[in-house]
Amino acid sequence: STAVAPAFQPVLDQIAADIAARPGRGRPADYIPALAEADTRRFGMAVAELDGTVYGVGDWRHPFSAQSITKAFTLALALSLEGEALWEHVGREPSGNPFNSLVQLEYENGIPRNPFVNAGALVVTDRLHTLTGDASGALRAFLRAESGNAELDFDGEVAASEAAHGDRNAALAYFMASYGNIGNPVPDLLEQYFRQCSLEASCADLARAAGFLARHGIRADGSSLLSRSQAKQVNAVMLTCGTYDAAGDFAYRVGLPGKSGVGGGIVAVVPGRCTLCVWSPGLDERGNSVAGVAALDRFTTLTGLSVF
Ligand code: GLN
């Protein structure tokens, strides 16, 4: 359902005007052609209330490449199925390194630093694939159910392009496999991971789909995905690791758990209150949307809705 919000709509309109007046939007991700062609003038933002009511501005219904935003959802799904044992395979400390870095793996015996750097996300997808037999299928089914958008899907062209330019991710996966920290054949895992990254969704879809993180683990249909404690844990890892080596600055400026992707999207959570998704394809050097971070900064400043 969409409605004109008494509370959020004027805030979103104000933010869109502020963003439009800002110079400098960063540059789109250029590692695959499908992302490099994105128009950096695009901007959309959506807020979903706990009941799924969504408010939006700009390109908030325009599908974009979710990329690493999906890592918040695969973490939640894997944690719901595996519980604490998941943390034997992946850590939960900020990395301070770029999202696709290899360096920490050698010093930490193939256990990646956290679930949101690429190495950690590969491990989470590997666990989810083992536990479900179809990690990307489980992810898609969950996102369709939670967003209410039965059309949500992967983009085959983006997935193929990820695979064609996937040497770094392949290196990460094979390196971890050498430590025994990957259970599936690496080519199968990479296929799952590249498909996961290629998910196309809008701000409205992703804001609504993340609602369980604001509802302390409760899904859209009232059933429980995560315990209250586990939902807190996922939000905590998003706060400390969700924007990679910019997580400190993101906490400082925005003050919310957030998960970014190189498609230019960011999902953020106000526990107990609402979820947000913002999209603008221009990125900073660390792979986070420039206008997206600025918009979330404005949101928490205007509303006072922050975890701090
Ligand atoms: N597909 C990208 C990669 O694996 C996702 C990275 C991201 O969104 N930060 O490199």
| CB contact at 8 A, 189 and 173 | yes
Is residue 14 pLDDT above 60, yes or no?
yes
Q: Is 55 considered catalytic here?
A: no
Q: Does 269 map to a domain?
A: yes
Q: Does 171 map to a domain?
A: yes
Average confidence score pLDDT of the chain: 95
**Residue 61 to residues 25, 37, 38, 107, 129, Cα–Cα distance (Å):** 20, 19, 16, 43, 30
Is residue 243 pLDDT above 70, yes or no?
yes
Is residue 5 pLDDT above 80, yes or no?
no
Q: Among residues of the chain, what percentage have pLDDT more than 70?
A: 98
Q: Per mean pLDDT, which range of 95-99, 205-209, 231-235, 284-288 is the poorest?
A: 95-99
| CB contact at 8 A, 291 and 103 | no
Q: Does 49 map to a domain?
A: yes
Q: Is 262 considered catalytic here?
A: yes
CA gyration radius for the chain? 18
pLDDT, tens digit, 9 for 90 and up, residues 253-292: 999 999 999 999 999 999 999 999 999 999 999 999 999 9
The residue range of the domain holding 101 is 8-303
Q: Does 183 map to a domain?
A: yes
Q: Does 3 map to a domain?
A: no
Ligand 1 contact via 59 beta carbon (within 6 Å): no
Rounded average pLDDT over 204-208: 98
The catalytic position among 123, 124, 147, 193 is 193
Q: Does 1 map to a domain?
A: no
Q: How many domains is the chain built from?
A: 1
Q: Does 142 map to a domain?
A: yes
pLDDT, tens digit, 9 for 90 and up, residues 137-181: 999 999 999 999 999 999 999 999 999 999 999 999 999 999 999
Q: Which atom of ligand 1 is nearest to the CA of 32?
A: 1
Q: Does 2 map to a domain?
A: no
Q: Round to whole Å and give the CA distance between 231 and 214.
A: 8
ipTM: 0.94
Q: What is the CATH number for 263?
A: 3.40.710.10
Is residue 4 pLDDT above 70, yes or no?
no
Q: Whose CA is nearest to atom 3 of ligand 1?
A: 118
